[in-house]
Amino acid sequence: MKIGFVQNNPLFGDIENNLAQVLGVLAEESADLFVLPELFTTGYQFINREEALELAETVPDGLTTQSLISLAKNINAVIVGGIVEREGDAIYNSALMVGPYGFIGKYQKAHLFDTEKQIFQPGTTPLAVFDIGCARVGMMICFDWRFPETARTLALKGADIIAHPANLVLKHCPDAMITRCLENGIFIATADRVGQEERIPGQRLKFMGQSQVVAPSGEVLYRASLDQEEVKVVELDIASARDKRLNPNNHLFADRREDLYRLN
Ligand code: ACM
């Protein structure tokens, strides 16, 4: 199957233009699954919760979800991307998944990074795996990478691929994802952004690009630049995520010693 990502540089707060740019880029591309960055329509650094609330959208009836559904139909692909989601009075840092037949599912970021805790509520959606036909796909968002239970849970639930929308600011993430792939025998596609934001004086955030696709073997199939917008599609063999044998004597999941992992 083919998997692709978009590495963008959104203009803060300009949902319509940021969305139009990604829609335009993907209209020319072909893959089974595309991953877009975290908060790809809004930008990242909200000054306060009210500002995020103004840019929040409902799922699945909001503009971004509906626009991505139309695109998914046109290009016959599944698409995962991150937005600010409003659900009742709560706002979440969410990822949504849509396909040619419509809305598939959503995930609300569980592990909020730093000042995100003043903006968003921690997610309540389960770590779910969606069967898109050519692969079983789970979602996690950016800083979730730092909690290995996230990827492990998705892998144990059957994910072949983790779609990982991100706005990376911590330099170890791209290499850490190699470990997550090795631990779980899965593919991880991280879609990051580039550029910087300093909407709060003195709190400059530089986003580090390096969107990538990593294989169960730990091989980095492709890693993007640190500072350029980019779209990339790579081919992968999903069978390599379904065979968890490392050699005739080791199996990544069967060899787990759950009896030793219990805390009491
Ligand atoms: C992050 O979780 N966006 C750093």
Nearest atom of ligand 1 to the alpha carbon of 169: 4
Instruction: Please report the pLDDT score of residue 61 as a whole number.
Output: 98
Q: Which residue's CA lies nearest to atom 2 of ligand 1?
A: 143
Q: With a 6 A CB cut-off, is 84 part of the ligand 1 pocket? A: no
Q: Is 181 a catalytic residue?
A: no
How many Cβ atoms sit within 10 Å of the Cβ of residue 180?
24
- pLDDT category of residue 232 using cuts at 50, 70 and 90: very high
Contacts of 173 (CB under 8 A, 6+ apart): 142, 145, 166, 190
Q: With a 6 A CB cut-off, is 38 part of the ligand 1 pocket? A: yes
Q: Which residue's CA lies nearest to atom 3 of ligand 1?
A: 167
Across all residues in the chain, what is the average pLDDT?
98
The rounded distance, in Å, linking the Cα atoms of 96 and 129 is: 12
Residue range 15-72, pLDDT digits in tens: 999 999 999 999 999 999 999 999 999 999 999 999 999 999 999 999 999 999 999 9
Nearest atom of ligand 1 to the alpha carbon of 167: 3
Residue range 80-105, pLDDT digits in tens: 999 999 999 999 999 999 999 999 99
Q: Is 109 a catalytic residue?
A: yes
142 alpha carbon – ligand 1 mean position (Å): 5
Q: Is 38 a catalytic residue?
A: yes
For a ligand 1 pocket test, name from 83, 118, 143 the mutation site with the most ligand atoms within 8 angstroms of its C-beta.
143
Instruction: Please report the pLDDT score of residue 144 as a whole number.
Output: 98
Pairing of strands 196-197, 205-206: antiparallel
Residue range 110-140, pLDDT digits in tens: 999 999 999 999 999 999 999 999 999 999 9
Q: With a 6 A CB cut-off, is 113 part of the ligand 1 pocket? A: yes
52 alpha carbon – ligand 1 mean position (Å): 15
- pLDDT category of residue 228 using cuts at 50, 70 and 90: very high
CB-neighbour burial class of residue 189 (10 A; exposed 0-12, middle 13-18, buried 19+): buried
Q: With a 6 A CB cut-off, is 69 part of the ligand 1 pocket? A: no
